[in-house]
Amino acid sequence: MQQVSSIFHKGHNGRGILLIHGFTGTPLDMDPLVKFFCGIGFAIAAPLLAGHGTTPEALRKTTWMDWMQSAEEAYHQLRLSGVGSVYTIGHSMGGLLSLRLALRYPFAAMSTLSSPIFTRDQRIKYARYLKWVKPYVRRTEQKAPHIEQHLRPYPRTPLASIDQLQRLIESIKDDLPKIKTPIFVAQGGADETVEPKSANYIYNRIGSHYKKVQLYPSSSHIITRDHDHHRVNQDIASYFEAIRIQTEGERPFFHITGNTKESRRCDHRTKID
C-alpha cells in the first residue's frame, strides 16, 4: 500500500476544521473537502487514524478508543495552531468519532457524512463472536471506478476491528441527546454500506437546537468523492457560515461561489506529528 500520512494545512481566516475519515479509509477520502475548505481560508487537520493506511494486522491491534485518540490529537493540533473556532466533519465512522468528540469539546458546528447507526450488512453484529474463528474477511466488492481510483483499501478487514466499529456505534446511541453542537447530517441515497435511515436517527435524537439533515439521492457511501461531492462541500460550508452568523451576529466571512475550482490553491501540506 502506498504510504499515506495525516494532513495539516495552515489557514488564514482564524477558523479550523477537523476532518475524520471512515473505517479502513485514509485522509485521501477527504481530499475534496480538504481542498475546498482550505481554499476558503480554513486551517485543516485530517488525521490518519491509528491502524489505518498501514496493514490489516496493524488495524487489528487497535480499538475505537485508539481511533478516537488519533482524532483528539489532531483537534489539539488545530487549537495549538492558533485558530479561534474549530468545526468538525466526519465521514462514516469518522462522523461517529466527531459525535463523541462533541461530547468533550466546544465545536462551533459539525457535519456527519454517511455515518452508520444501521448498516446494510447485519453480520456486523456477530463480528464479536466470529472474530475468534475467522480473523479476517476478504474485500470482494469494488466501488465505482471514479471512486475506487482514489482509495487505498485493505485487501482484507479484521473481524476484531469490525467488532470495534459496532461497539462505537452502540456507544454513541445513548449519548446523542447530550450533544448540543449545531449539526449538518448528510446522507447518500444510494449508499451501499449504511442504511440511509441512520441520518434521520441521528437528526431526531441529537440534542442540538440547530440541526439539518440532507439526502443526496445519487451519492453512494463515499459521498466525499461521488457525483454530489461539490454540492456537499458547498452545503456544509453554507451551513457552517449560517451558524456562525446566527451565533456570532457578524456579517458573512466568505462567499460560496458555487465553483470549487475558484478556491485558492492549498500547497502547504505537512504530516501531523
Domain of 190 in residue numbering reads as 7-262
For 40-95, the pLDDT digits (tens) are 999 999 999 999 999 999 999 999 999 999 999 999 999 999 999 999 999 999 99
pLDDT bin (cut points 50, 70, 90) of residue 234 is very high
- Short-list 79, 93, 82, CA closest to 18: 79
Mean of all residue pLDDT scores within the chain: 87
The pLDDT value recorded for residue 131 is 86
Give the CA dihedral 49, 54, 58, 63, nearest 10 degrees: 20
Estimate the crossing angle of helix 159-173 against helix 64-80, to 10 degrees: 70
Please give the average per-residue pLDDT across 225-229, as a whole number. Answer: 85
CB atoms within 10 A of CB 102: 24
User: How many angstroms separate the Cα of 223 from the Cα of each of 49, 150, 195, 200?
Assistant: 19, 13, 14, 17
The pLDDT value recorded for residue 246 is 87
CA distance 139 to 162: 13
- Short-list 79, 13, 80, 7, CA closest to 49: 7
Is 93 annotated as ligand-binding? yes
Residue 245 is which amino acid? Answer: I
Q: For residue 208, is it within any domain?
A: yes
User: How many angstroms separate the Cα of 38 from the Cα of each of 4, 83, 128?
Assistant: 19, 13, 40
> What's this model's pTM, rounded to 2 decimal places?
0.90
Q: For residue 36, is it within any domain?
A: yes
Please give the average per-residue pLDDT across 217-227, as a whole number. Answer: 88
- Short-list 43, 46, 89, 56, CA closest to 183: 89
The pLDDT value recorded for residue 261 is 38
- Which active-site residues does the annotation give? 92, 191, 221
The total number of structural domains in the chain stands at 1
Grid cell for residue 146: 471514479
**Please, are residues 108 and 243 in contact by the beta-carbon 8 Å criterion?**
yes
Q: Which residues, other chains included, contact 254 with Cβ-Cβ below 8 Å and sequence gap of 6+? A: 13, 40, 41, 237, 241
CA distance 187 to 196: 6
Angle value at C-alpha 179, between 47 and 61, nearest 5 degrees: 40
The pLDDT value recorded for residue 153 is 66
CA distance 98 to 77: 15
Q: For residue 2, is it within any domain?
A: no
For 9-25, the pLDDT digits (tens) are 999 999 999 999 999 99
CATH code (residue 178): 3.40.50.1820
Q: Which residues, other chains included, contact 130 with Cβ-Cβ below 8 Å and sequence gap of 6+? A: 123, 159
| Residue listed under C-alpha cell 502547504 | 268
Q: For residue 272, is it within any domain?
A: no
Q: For residue 1, is it within any domain?
A: no
**Please, are residues 86 and 104 in contact by the beta-carbon 8 Å criterion?**
no
Q: For residue 111, how far is the Cα from the chain centroid?
A: 8
Continuous segment of H or E residues that includes residue 211:
strand 211-216
The pLDDT value recorded for residue 146 is 64
Please give the average per-residue pLDDT across 100-125, as a whole number. Answer: 94
The pLDDT value recorded for residue 252 is 53
Grid cell for residue 15: 477558523
The pLDDT value recorded for residue 272 is 35
The pLDDT value recorded for residue 205 is 98
For 126-149, the pLDDT digits (tens) are 888 888 888 888 866 655 556 655
For 189-208, the pLDDT digits (tens) are 999 899 999 999 999 999 99
